[in-house]
Amino acid sequence: MRYIKISSAIFIFIALFSVIMPDLLHAQNGTFDAQNYAQKSFELQKKGMILLGSWATLNLITGSTGYFLSAHDSKYFHQMNAGWNIVNLGIAGFALYNLSQSDPSVLSYSDTITELQNLDKILLLNTGLDLGYMATGAWLWERGIRKQSHRLKGYGKSLLVQGGFLLVFDVILYLMHSPITKEAIYFADQFEITANGFRINF
């Protein structure tokens, strides 16, 4: 019986050690975790910017074509769609360029967490701006109806559409990115890297 108990204890120890060993190795390396989480963030950002760039390109094509083929409200709706997405395309292109020039492996653990948290804050800030775009669009549309202005109505409708897209885009990107940040912070709390190795915090 005693032999069985000792064997069981050894088995449990080995099992637990095998489970936590990968995380201990992450913590001991320091740059491995930073690279892992930063890389996840970079890949998600790339996909997001490709989506934003695709949306912008689609709106530039349909907006430019629609401007010349439409009249009244629709003419100005397409005009604003095209103009608005020149900016979106520039943002997406600039972001993709910066990401292509970035090396996540050079980031320390603390720098990685800071970068992840900053992106989450930016995305939340953007959602507030997106609501502002939509509110402005609704105001322009209502004002256009009162003044019987095709331009204001068209611009208002466009801002509602563009603001709505950006709101959904930023919210979804935040919901996909914030778990990466939370996981990185969790491991930062669990493992403390020191000059002599690592220490587990319970």
Concatenate the DSSP letters of all residues of 40-80 into one string: HHHHHHHHHHHHHHHHHHHHHHHHHHHHHH--HHHHHHHHH
Does the structure show a pLDDT above 70 at 21?
A: no
Higher pLDDT, 109 or 188: 109
Q: How far apart are CA 155 and CA 82, in angstroms?
A: 11
What does the longest C-alpha to C-alpha distance in the chain come to? 92
Q: What pLDDT is stored for residue 140 in this prediction?
A: 96
Which residues make beta-bridge pairs with 200?
191
pLDDT tens-digit profile of 61-118? 999 999 999 889 999 999 999 999 999 999 999 999 999 988 877 777 788 888 999 9
